[in-house]
């Protein structure tokens, strides 16, 4: 249904917006190749959907795009896996450097993205 598509759409959008700056870092992509590969797939799906939505902004038209719901559901599944992998990556860094336990995930990601040899 249209509501299912919109719900999935909003979930993909918010998670993609959070992860996109993280996975635009080549360093993170190298350290998390599996998650990076999945993010590239989601990124492609999302950009394709957005390109279609720009062509015709009417909700009924946009939500009737072929395989829209399945692409969004697949994207959300990948994004969940990516976030789990990212959390595991950060947990390993915290175990190696206990002082990182005092930092939020966002602060830790910022530090790790600025270092050459994390």
Q: Against a cut of 0.75, is the pTM above it?
A: yes
Q: Where residue 118 falls among pLDDT bands split at 50, 70, 90? A: very low
Distances (CA, A) of 80 to 5, 15, 55, 93, 101: 17, 9, 29, 20, 23
> Of 34-38, 57-61, 98-102, 110-114, which one has max mean pLDDT?
34-38
The pair of structure tokens assigned to 53 is 């939505």
Which region, left, alpha or beta, applies to residue 67 given φ > 0 means left and ψ of -120 to 50 means alpha? left
């Amino acid at each position: 249904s249209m509501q299912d598509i919109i719900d999935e759409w909003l979930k993909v959008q918010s998670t993609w917006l959070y992860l996109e700056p993280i996975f635009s870092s080549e360093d993170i992509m190298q350290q998390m190749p599996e998650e990076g590969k999945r993010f590239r797939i989601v990124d492609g799906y999302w950009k394709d959907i957005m390109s279609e939505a720009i062509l015709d902004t009417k909700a009924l038209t946009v939500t009737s795009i072929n395989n829209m719901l399945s692409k969004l559901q697949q994207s959300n599944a990948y994004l969940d896996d990516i976030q789990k992998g990212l959390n595991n990556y950060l947990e390993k860094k915290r175990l190696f450097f206990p002082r990182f336990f005092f930092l939020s995930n966002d602060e830790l990601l910022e530090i790790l993205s600025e270092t050459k040899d994390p």
